[in-house]
Amino acid sequence: MTTYRQPGTVVTDHRFPVPLDHARPDGEQIEVYAREIAASGLSATERERLPWLVYLEGGPGFGARRFIGRQAWLDRALREFRVLLLDQRGTGRSTPANRQTLPARGDAAAQADHLTHFRADSIVKDCELIRRRLTGGAPWTVLGQSFGGFCAVHYLSTAPEGLERVLITGGLPSLHATADEVYTAAYPRARRKNEAHFARYPDDAEHVRTIAAHLLEHETALPGGGLLTAESFQSLGILLGSGDGTHQLHHLLEGAFVRAPGGPVLADAFLEQVQAHLSYAGHPLYAVLHEAIYAQGKGPTAWAAERIRADFPEFDAAAALAAGRPVLLTGETIHPWHFTADPALRPLRETAELLARRDDWTPLYDPARLAVNEVPVAAAVYHDDMYVDTAHSLETARAIRGLRTWVTDEFEHDGVRAGGPRVLDRLLALSRDEL
C-alpha cells in the first residue's frame, strides 16, 4: 500500500487479487485497484474507526472518478466515512481489458467468453471479497452512481448481509425489461432532450443540420484516426443527459466550421473536441458490454439500440435533411458502426458481435429477495433522466421493500457530481428516516 496526501485528504492505494471467475476461486487471479480516502487531521487510530463507504462508478467500463481533495460529494462523505473509490474490474488501474490486452486471451470467441466475467455479478463478488479483507466482516455503505446503482441492486439481490445501507443516484434499473424495452423507452427521451436543447439554443438546429449534411457528403477523419460520420456525430447527443451538457454542446457546435480557400471545412479544433467526446480509448468496456448490462436471460441483445432505432425514423439524418426537419442527436446507445469508426474498438468488432449474439446471460436481480429487503435504501431518481428511464426506476423502487426515493428535476443524470454535497446529504438523511 502507498499512502500520500492531497488537499484535505489522506489517500491510500490498495490492490486486491480476485478470481477472474468466482466460480473457480483457485483459478486465474486478476487485480482490482481501489483508492481509500479519509479526511486529513485525524490520527491513524481515528481513521481506522471510521465506517466504510464504497463508491461504484457509472458505466460500465469507467474507473472511479479521480478527485483532487474534497470535491463534489466526497466532502460530505468524509465527514463520517472512509471512502473506497473502486476501479471496477477491467477499468482504471485494475487489470485492464481492452484492444491491447484482450488478444492474449485468444480469438474473438475466447475474448467474448472472458468478458462475460465483467458484469455486475462479478463486480459485486469482488466487492464482497474486498469488504471482508478491509472491514473484518462488518457491513459497509454502498454509493452507486448510474451503472453503479445497477450493481448496488444486484448487491441487494445476492449479498445483502454485506450492506449497512445503499445509496443510489440515477441508477435504479428495471428488474425485468429487456434491452429492446430499455431502448424503446430511451429514444423518446432523447427526442425530448433535443427539443429542449433547440428551444434553448434555436440556432443550433441549423448548426446540426449543416454539420450532418457536410458529413453525409464528405468522408471526415478525426485526428486520432477515427471516422466522423453523420451517425457518429449524432451520438454527441449523449451530452444532453448531463447538467451542463446542453451548454457544452452549444459551445462545441458554434465553432464547427472555418473558411478555407476551397470553402467551409470542419475546424481542427472542433474535430479535436469531438474526438475527446466520442473516443472509447479510455473506456472500451462501455461499448463492448453496454447492452449486456440489460441482458436478463431472455435471449441475445442482438444490437438492440440499432434495431430499435429503425422504429424512430426521426433519428435518420438523411431523411430529416431531405424533409427539412431538425436532425436529432442520439443518446446513450451503442451501434455496430462504433466498432468500425473508433480505432480503439475496431479490433474488438468480432468480439462485440459474439457478445451481442450470446443468449445464455444469467438474470441479475432477484425480485423475491428484494421484496423482503431489510437494508436501508435511498435513491435519487431524476425526472426524465436521459440515461435511465424514470418509469422503470420508480417501478423498481416500489419492488424493493423499504426503499425511499427522492424524485427531482433539479439535476440531470450527473446530479451526485454536479450537486456538491446536497445529493449525498439528502440520501443519507432519507436512509436514516431523518426526512
| pLDDT digit string, tens, across residues 289-312 | 999 999 988 899 999 999 999 999
Q: Is 360 a catalytic residue?
A: yes
Q: Which of 146, 157, 232, 279 is catalytic?
A: 146
List, in sequence order, the alpha helices (H) in 178-316. Answer: 179-200, 203-217, 230-234, 245-254, 268-278, 284-288, 304-309
Catalytic residue among 154, 283, 413, 414: 413
**Placement of cell 454539420 in the chain:** 211
pLDDT digits over 46-70, tens only? 999 999 999 999 999 999 999 999 9
Residue after which a domain boundary falls, among 310, 330, 357:
357
Please compute Rg for the chain using Cα positions: 22
283 and 387 share one domain = no
Of the candidates 305, 190, 295, 304, which has an alpha carbon nearest to the alpha carbon of residue 249?
Answer: 190
pLDDT of residue 298: 85
What pLDDT, on a 0 to 100 scale, did the predictor assign at position 241? 96
Same domain, 318 and 195: yes
146 is catalytic: yes
Count the Cβ atoms, other than its own, within 10 Å of residue 422.
Answer: 15
| Mean pLDDT value across residues 245-270 | 95
Question: What was the pLDDT predicted at 435?
Answer: 85
Q: Are residues 36 and 105 in the same domain?
A: yes
Q: For the chain, give the mean pLDDT.
A: 97
Q: Provide the domain count of the chain.
A: 2
Q: State how far the alpha carbon of 62 is from the alpha carbons of 103, 152, 169, in Å.
A: 21, 16, 16
Distance CA 19, CA 26 (A): 7
DSSP state, residue 109: H
Q: In this structure, are 183 and 169 located in the same domain?
A: no
Q: Considering the candidates 26, 360, 409, 433, report the single residue annotated as catalytic.
A: 360
* 262 pLDDT tier (thresholds 50, 70, 90): confident
Q: Give yes or no: residues 163 and 209 share one domain.
A: no
Please give the order of strands across the beta sheet that includes 140-145: 2-6, 9-19, 29-39, 82-86, 52-56, 140-145, 163-169, 377-382, 404-408
**pLDDT band for position 14 (cuts 50, 70, 90):** very high
The reply to whether 108 and 197 lie within a common domain is no
Has residue 374 got a pLDDT over 90?
yes
Residue 266 has a pLDDT of: 97
Are 272 and 241 in the same domain? Answer: yes
Sequence length of the chain is 435
Q: Are residues 273 and 371 in the same domain?
A: no
Same domain, 279 and 224: yes
Q: What number is the average pLDDT over the span 69-90?
A: 97
Q: Is residue 157 annotated as part of the catalytic site, yes or no?
A: no
Question: Average pLDDT of 66-84?
Answer: 96
Q: Say yes or no: 166 and 199 in one domain.
A: no
Give the three cell numbers for residue 141: 455503505
Q: How confident is the model at residue 263 (pLDDT cuts 50, 70, 90)?
A: confident
DSSP one-letter code for 199: H
The stretch 257-284 carries a mean pLDDT of 96
Nearest to 168 by CA among 391, 403, 401: 403
Q: Output the pLDDT for position 394.
A: 98
The verdict on 95 and 127 lying in the same domain is: yes
Q: Which of 309, 330, 357 is the last residue of a domain?
A: 357
Looking at the fold, whether 270 and 136 belong to one and the same domain comes out as: no
Domain of residue 42, residue span: 2-175+365-431
**Domain end call among 295, 328, 357:** 357
Instruction: Give me the residue label for grid cell 445497477.
Output: 150
CATH number at 92 reads 3.40.50.1820
Q: Is the pLDDT of residue 181 over 90?
A: yes
Separation CA 222–CA 281 (nearest Å):
13
**Given this model, what pLDDT does residue 302 score?**
98
